[in-house]
Amino acid sequence: MKAFCFTLTILCAVQSILAYPRPDFAISGTISGTDKVISAAGNLNAAATAAGSGTVELTSGYNTLTTVSNALQAIGDAIVDAGTQLGSALNNLASANSGPIADAFSGATDEIDDLAELLNSNFDGNLDTVDETGTYITTQFADAFDVIGNTLGRLAGALNALQTKVEAARNAAGSSPSVSAAIIRSRIPAKYVNDVLAEVRNLAGNMPLVKFVIDSSLQNLDMVDTFILELEEEVNDNVERYGTSYEAFQSILEDEAENYSEILSDGVGDSVSTIIADILGDLEAIAAYTSEMSGPIGALGDALTSSLDDTTEAITNSFVTYSEDIDTIFEDLAGILGSAFCSPIKAVSEVQIANGPYADFCFAKHSPRVFAQISIAIDSFDVCFEKEMSRVMNYTIVIENMSEQISYNTEDLLDNLNLCLAMPTAATKAACFAWVGPYYTAIAAQVEAHLDSVADLVDAETRASYNRLGSCLITSLSATSLIADEIATDANDCEDNGPQAGS
C-alpha cells in the first residue's frame, strides 16, 4: 500500500511538471502553471459563491431577525459579487494570449482593490446593522476580512512581480509576435506563477470562514425563529389550559350557587302552610285565631316562601357577579404572559442572535427555562383556583347552620297552635292566640332578618373569594415575572462569562 501511494505521488508530480497548457498571461507563449491558475480561479469563484449562499426562511414575525438576516445576506451577496468578479478577472488574465500586458494585469488587480475596499467598508450600512446585535459577529467578520485582506495584499504583490517578469519576456522577444519557450523559461521562472497560484488557492481557502460567519449567524436566527414560534405555541397551549381550569371553576361556582340555595331551602324546613295544613280548618273556625294569629302566621309563611325565594335569587346573583368579575382579572392572558416573559425571551434570543462564543450553550441552558416557567405560572394559577374552590365549598357549613337556626322558628309552631286549640273555652283559646301572636310577629321579622343575613353573607363571601382569587393569581404572575427577570439576567451573564460550574 505504501509503495502504491509513493508511486502515485511520483506520477502526479511528473504529470504536474509536464503539464504545459496553451493559455498564458497576456503573451503569445506557453507559461507553465497557467492551467492551474485558471482552475484555482474557478475554485475561487465557487468558494466566493458558497460564502454568500446561506439563506433562512423566517416566519415568527420578529422584526430583528428579519433585519439581521437581510443584512447578513446582503453582506454575503456583496462578497459573492466581488469575489467572483476577481475570480473571473484572474481567469481572464491567465487565459489571455495577447496584450496589452498592463491592461490584462490591471483587470485583476483592480478587482483585488475593489474586494479590499469592500472588506474595509460597512457594506452599505449592513455591517452596522449586524453590529447592533453585539460585537461578536462583526468581530468574526473583521477577523475573516483581515485574513482575506492579507491574502489579497500578497496576491497583488505576486501579480505585480509576475507582470514584471511577463513584460521582461515580452520585451526580450522583440518584434516577434510570440514569445519562445526558451525566453519564457529564462524570464518567467515557475516560482512567480506558483506564487500567484498559491495566493489564489489561499484566497479560495479564506472564503469558507466568511461562509461560516454568515451561515452560523443565519442558523442562529433560524433557531431563535423556531424558539419564538414554539414559545408562542406553548403560550397558547397554556392559555388553553388556563381556560380549562377557568371553565371548571366557573362550573363549580354555578353548582355551588345551586347547592347553597338547596341547602338553605331544605334546611329551613317545611313551609308554614304545610306545617298547619291538618289543623287549618280548626284554626280558622276560631275568630280569635283570625284576628290575633293569622297575621303573624301569614307573615311567617311569606318569609319562608317568597322571602326565601328572594334570598335564593340573591345567592344566585352573587355567584353570577363573582363569575363575571373573574373575567376582568386576565382579560388577555396571552398578552399578559407575553409581557411578563418579554424580558427573558428578548435576552435569550439576543444571546443567540449575537453568535458569541457561548451563544449555543447559553441558549440551550436558558431557553428551556422560559418554556418551563410558562407552565409553572399556569400551575400556580391552578393552585389558586383549587384553593378558592375548596373555600367556596366549605362555606356551605355556614349556610347549613344559618338554615338550621331559621328552622327553629317553625319547629314548635304546630305544638304551640295545638295547645291553644286544646284550651277548654273560647275565651281561653282567644287569650292563648292573643298572647302567642306577638311572638310570631317577631319571629317572622327575625326570619326575614336571618334570610337577609344569609344573602348578605353569601354576597360578602363571594366578593371576598373573588378578591382572594384575584390576589392569588396576580401575585403568582408577579412571582413569575420575577423569575422571568432572573432568567434574563442569567442569560446575559452567561453570554459574558460562559458556563459557571458550581455557581
Residues of the chain with pLDDT > 90, as a percent, come to 85
| List of residues 6+ apart from 344 with CB closer than 8 A | 366, 369, 370, 373, 484, 485, 487, 488, 491
Triad 26, 28, 33: Cα angle to 5°: 70
Task: Give the model confidence (pLDDT) of 358-412 as tens digits.
Answer: 999 999 999 999 999 999 999 999 999 999 999 999 999 999 999 999 999 999 9
Q: pTM for the whole thing? A: 0.81
Q: Would you state the pLDDT for residue 23?
A: 46
Triad 367, 378, 393: Cα angle to 5°: 165
- Average the pLDDT over 44-71 and give the result: 96
Q: Would you state the pLDDT for residue 28?
A: 66
- Average the pLDDT over 68-84 and give the result: 98
Q: Would you state the pLDDT for residue 184?
A: 82
Grid cell locating 167: 513584460
Task: Give the model confidence (pLDDT) of 248-296 as tens digits.
Answer: 999 999 999 999 999 999 999 999 999 999 999 999 999 999 999 999 9
CB 121 within 8 A of CB 49: no
Q: How far is CA 296 from CA 428, 435, 446, 482, in A?
A: 19, 12, 12, 63
CB 123 within 8 A of CB 82: no
Residues of the chain with pLDDT > 70, as a percent, come to 94
pLDDT band (50, 70, 90) for residue 503: low
Task: Give the model confidence (pLDDT) of 205-251 as tens digits.
Answer: 999 999 999 999 999 999 999 999 999 999 999 999 999 999 999 99
Q: Would you state the pLDDT for residue 16?
A: 41
* 26 pLDDT higher than 80: no
* 6 pLDDT higher than 50: no
What one-letter code names the amino acid at 327?
D
Q: Would you state the pLDDT for residue 30?
A: 77
Question: Residue 168's CB: how many other CB atoms inside 10 A?
Answer: 14
Q: Would you state the pLDDT for residue 18?
A: 39
Q: Which residues of 23-53 are buried (b: 16+ CB within 10 A; e: fewer)?
A: bbbbbbbbbbbbbbbbbbbbbbbebbbbbbe
Instruction: Give me the chain's average pLDDT, please.
Output: 92
Q: Would you state the pLDDT for residue 171?
A: 87
Task: Give the model confidence (pLDDT) of 462-489 as tens digits.
Answer: 999 999 999 999 999 999 999 999 999 9
| DSSP state at residue 56 | -
pLDDT band (50, 70, 90) for residue 20: very low
Grid cell locating 454: 344569609
- Tell how far CA 217 is from the center of its chain: 19
Task: Give the model confidence (pLDDT) of 417-469 as tens digits.
Answer: 999 999 999 999 999 999 999 999 999 999 999 999 999 999 999 999 999 99
Q: Would you state the pLDDT for residue 178?
A: 84
d(CA 499, CA 241): 35
- Average the pLDDT over 126-135 and give the result: 96
Q: Would you state the pLDDT for residue 381?
A: 96
d(CA 36, CA 40): 6
Q: Would you state the pLDDT for residue 175?
A: 75
Q: Would you state the pLDDT for residue 99?
A: 74
